């Protein structure tokens, strides 16, 4: 069967379902979103187990937490949001904003978050009266397929079109067959959402279909002189080790001011970190990048597995995570890049200006546009970092992987898809949510004319 023969029936059903869905009221749409989200949330354990069993990435307990936390947070964001018909009336400007659907959305999903991402993507696309075709990484297909089954039953129970949520298998004889099928799907849909690696994002951009891509993570986080380490270190460790660092928002490097360096390293070790010596660092590097690319035997694995792969010994195998001291950045210093593993790189810097320069150097190598963070009580340092860093998000005194995609204690939208702006070759600098899957019509009425004077616009220039 050709890709076209496989995709056309799915697209035809999606378009028919979306056409029916387009006439739904806001109340009906919200009922649909509640149904598909509850289908995931209430089956978090089953979906997490499938994701873990078939991907071998992360751990079951944290995947359950991720499904429940992300789904609950996203539902909180969506519950009272307007997405149907007139959503805003600006009387002063005479402009009425009308929200309309995009159509059929294709969503490419990663293996690292195989249980949480399908639910989130379905919620934010259906909120805009779109249909969605989920295309999971082959390792994540069983979890995605189960969620689609649950969501479709929830839709049927509601009397809504089941074909609003479907999935397309990307399994093939090799990865190239799967990528060709993904490209064919994106070429046929109205909009694509790609929460996957740079190669898949590039496929979306080359498909000819408008596409939301996500950026590469590699979050560097500063520890300055004023940081409250008793608060910061538990947050960093919990975030770094959550789901064995499957999140692209996990702290990848700490940039530590000299005056707090020894104290910070001691605290990290007290919380389960294992500080590698130069020989162990070399062994770990060889195990992690045996051919220049990150090893699948390392990504999102336990510290014990990594210790075994790198022959680090029994003491290291008992650790929660590994600490690697580094000085440089770039291709010759692979620990300065994204690791998706329980390996934390640390840098020692003399002053805050050097800390900001180091953050930017890390991001220039990998992760530009995504995010960074700081632990501090110095507002001037927060402001300096925020102004200087080429990122979409700067987190202050927060666990990065928990809060970068939205938190109950910050104002960011909950998401599993984060844009990195033009820095990361994306079209958005935001956490992607339902707003990104709406078309808008702006109804403009006449208002009293106001033509400004030259002096109002150009001031003294107009009198010269």
Secondary-structure breakdown of the chain: helix, strand, coil percentages, each rounded to the nearest 5 = 50, 20, 35
How far apart CA 273 and CA 269 sit, in angstroms, is 4
> Across the strands, what pairs with 418?
431
Compute the residue count for the chain.
464
Question: Is 248 in the active site?
Answer: yes
Are 97 and 88 a contacting pair, CB within 8 Å?
Answer: yes
How far apart CA 377 and CA 362 sit, in angstroms, is 23
How many CB atoms within 10 Å of residue 164? 26
How many CB atoms within 10 Å of residue 93? 11
Catalytic member of 189, 248, 372, 401: 248
Q: How far is CA 36 from CA 64, 118, 126, in A?
A: 17, 10, 9
> Across the strands, what pairs with 131?
104
- Helix (H) or strand (E) holding 264, with range, is helix 258-270
- Helix (H) or strand (E) holding 392, with range, is strand 391-396
Strands 191-194 and 211-213: parallel
How far apart CA 21 and CA 298 sit, in angstroms, is 44
CA atoms within 13 A on the CB side of 376: 24
User: Phi/psi at 82 (nearest 5 deg)?
Assistant: -90, 130
Residues forming the active site = 248
């Amino acid at each position: 069967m050709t890709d076209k023969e496989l995709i056309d029936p799915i697209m035809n059903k999606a378009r028919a379902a979306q056409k029916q869905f387009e006439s739904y009221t806001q109340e009906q749409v919200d009922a649909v979103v509640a149904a598909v989200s509850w289908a995931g949330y209430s089956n978090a354990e089953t979906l997490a187990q499938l994701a873990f069993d078939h991907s071998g990435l992360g751990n079951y307990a944290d995947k359950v937490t991720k499904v429940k936390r992300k789904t609950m947070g996203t539902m909180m964001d969506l519950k009272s949001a307007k997405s149907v018909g007139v959503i805003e009336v600006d009387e002063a400007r005479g402009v009425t904003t009308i929200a309309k659907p995009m159509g059929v959305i294709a969503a490419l999903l990663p293996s690292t978050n195989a249980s949480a991402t399908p639910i989130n993507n379905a919620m934010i696309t259906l909120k805009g009266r779109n249909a969605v075709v989920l295309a999971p990484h082959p390792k994540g297909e069983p979890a995605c397929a189960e969620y689609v089954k649950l969501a479709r039953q929830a839709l049927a129970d509601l009397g809504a079109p089941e074909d609003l949520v479907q999935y397309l298998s990307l399994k093939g004889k090799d990865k190239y067959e799967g990528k060709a099928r993904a490209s064919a799907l994106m070429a046929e849909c109205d909009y694509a959402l790609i929460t996957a690696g740079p190669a898949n994002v590039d496929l979306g951009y080359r498909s000819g279909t408008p596409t939301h891509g996500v950026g590469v993570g590699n979050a560097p986080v500063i520890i300055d002189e004023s940081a409250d380490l008793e608060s910061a270190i538990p947050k960093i460790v919990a975030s770094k080790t959550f789901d064995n660092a499957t999140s692209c928002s996990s702290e990848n490097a700490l940039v530590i001011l000299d005056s707090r360096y020894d104290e910070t390293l001691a605290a990290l070790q007290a919380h389960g970190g294992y500080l590698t010596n130069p020989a162990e660092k070399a062994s770990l590097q060889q195990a992690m990048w045996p051919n220049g690319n990150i090893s699948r035997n390392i990504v999102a694995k336990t510290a014990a597995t990594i210790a075994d792969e790198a022959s680090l010994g029994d003491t290291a195998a008992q650790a929660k995570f590994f600490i690697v001291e580094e000085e440089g950045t770039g291709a010759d210093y692979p620990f300065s890049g994204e690791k998706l593993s329980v390996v934390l790189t640390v840098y020692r810097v003399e002053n805050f200006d050097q800390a900001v320069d180091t953050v930017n150097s890390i991001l220039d190598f990998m992760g530009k546009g995504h995010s960074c963070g700081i632990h501090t009580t110095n507002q001037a340092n927060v402001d300096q970092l925020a102004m200087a860093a080429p990122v979409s998000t700067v987190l202050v005194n927060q666990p990065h992987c928990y809060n970068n995609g939205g938190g109950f204690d910050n104002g960011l939208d909950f998401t599993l898809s984060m844009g990195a702006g033009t820095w990361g070759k994306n079209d958005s600098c935001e956490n992607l949510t339902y707003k990104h899957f709406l078309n808008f019509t702006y109804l403009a009425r006449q208002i009293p004319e106001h033509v400004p004077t030259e002096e109002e616009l150009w001031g003294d220039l107009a009198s010269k």
